[in-house]
Amino acid sequence: MFIGIAMFFVLMLMGGLIAFLGDKIGSKVGKKRMTLFGLRPKYTSIIVTIISGVLISFLTVAVLAVVNENVRVALFGLSKLQAQMANLNQEIIVKNKELDEGKKQLEARNKEYEGVTKKSEKTVKELERVESQRAYVQSELFSVQNAYQEAQAGIQQSAEEIEQLEKTKEELSGNITKLNSEKEALLGNIAAIREGTVVFRAGQVLTDAVVDENMSKEQSEQVLGSILNDINNLLKERMNVSDKDVYLVRMPKIAFDKAVDQVAGASSKKLVRVVAAGNLILGEPAIVEFDVHDNNLVFHANETIMTAKMLNYKGLKRPDAQVLSMLNELNHLAKDKGILPDPITGKVGQLEGQELLSVIEKVKGYNSKCVLVIKAKKDIYSEGPLLIDIEVERDVS
């Protein structure tokens, strides 16, 4: 701002000075009647005045050009500036086209995203529908299984119930494949039994032991080797083998090393079960495997494991069937909690016959209007077995 005002006053001063000098020169030329290019003094004075004006204009433009870059550009670079403006306008046109194309692509992507979102919502709804159907089918399957158990317990019921069981049997035809495979396994066992005396069945637990935590690899090898020696002594006793040096137990080294890796350095105690890999025939070497699990505390002593209302089993009319169905549920519950079942029977424990009969009689005396409270007799670990006390109380609800 200050520079512009100063330049304005400089131009005024310079213009006034040049005009004054031109007037003085013109006056002297006129008085002395000087001529220029042979012209009359009058015209010579006019030419001097014109030259003064031209000089004022030239100096004004020259000063502006020196001081202001925009003036220089306007005087000498206008064509270049126009060319640059034309190029910029062309670039603007190109960029606008690219912008339009980008907007179209964005709209296309938005449409694709909307399509994907709709498909996702449709898929979620379909998944919810499938989950609902699955829950319904599971509920139906559970109902059918209960009906099948009731039918097994009450096989002497009416012919109408038998017809209903026939329908249930058709719905459970999918179990035929599993039953056939079990049949083949039983036939294989029968063949083995015919060929010789079976000392232990395939999958049967020969022995089990709880080993300490934080053992080294060498300690783990010694402990597992000691367990195998105990099994060897057990087999020699079963088979009446008197030779002290004979070793009847066989285990692949890779299986032994795997068990060592599971036990060595473990942060908690481990349950090691020795399982027969196949039927052990009298007089033949025994091929065994290690089955290693965490030995966790599952139930505390006197802890209530399960409370069962017998009226929930009213579909089973006989008290013994109701109690057996409850014990079957207890068996599944204990396995789900972490108690290891017997590989042969699938059971986690066994109730003494006299105690079972006593419970059945009490249920019968209450006409099934009672509640069974099942408690642990002692601390129960993963190794089992599940030892329980059953209290029978009147259902007052």
253 and 303 together in one domain: no
> How far lies 130's CA from each of 119, 125, 127, 280, in Å?
16, 9, 5, 48
Residues 302 and 285 occupy one common structural domain: no
Pair type for strands 304-309 and 280-281: unpaired
Dist. CA 207–CA 238, nearest whole Å: 14
> Considering the domain boundaries, does residue 253 fall inside one?
yes
Task: Pick the last residue of a domain from 295, 315, 344.
Answer: 295
pLDDT attached to residue 373:
92
Q: Is residue 78 part of a domain?
A: no
What's the mean pLDDT in 342-365? 84
pLDDT tens for residues 72-112? 666 666 677 777 788 888 888 888 888 888 888 888 888 88
* Domain annotation covers residue 93: no
Same domain, 268 and 210: yes
Q: What is the predicted pLDDT for the residue at 194?
A: 44
Using the 3D structure, point to which of 229, 264, 295 is the last residue of a domain: 295
Note whether 222 and 287 are same-domain residues.
Answer: yes
Q: Is residue 229 a part of any domain in this protein?
A: yes
Count of the separate structural domains present in the chain:
2
Residue bearing the bigger pLDDT, 77 or 262: 262
Q: Kindly report, residue by residue over 187-236, the tens digit of the pLDDT.
A: 555 554 445 566 677 778 888 888 888 888 898 888 888 888 888 888 88
- Within-domain flag for 145: no
Which DSSP letter does residue 285 get? P
Whether 234 and 317 map to the same domain: the answer is no
Q: Of the candidates 280, 295, 310, which is a domain's last residue?
A: 295
Based on the domain organization, do 268 and 321 belong to the same domain? no
| Structural domain containing residue 313 | 298-394
pLDDT of residue 300: 92
pTM value is 0.46
Q: Are residues 343 and 265 in the same domain?
A: no
205 & 287 share domain: yes
Alpha-carbon dihedral sign for residues 210, 211, 213, 217: negative
154, 319 in Cβ contact below 8 A?
no
Report how far residue 68's alpha carbon sits from residue 77's, in angstroms, rounded to the nearest whole number.
Answer: 13
Query: Terminus-to-terminus CA distance in the chain, angstroms?
Result: 99
Query: Is 22 contained in some domain?
Result: no
Same domain, 291 and 205: yes
Paired tokens of 306: 């399960």
In a domain, residue 67? The reply is no
Asked whether residue 281 falls in the same domain as residue 341, the answer is: no
pLDDT band at 395 (very low <50, low <70, confident <90, very high): confident
Q: Is residue 254 part of a domain?
A: yes
CA nearest to 326, candidates 150, 172, 139, 114: 150
pLDDT tens-digit map of 148-187: 777 666 665 566 656 665 665 665 665 566 555 555 555 5
Query: Do 309 and 346 reside in the same domain of the chain?
Result: yes
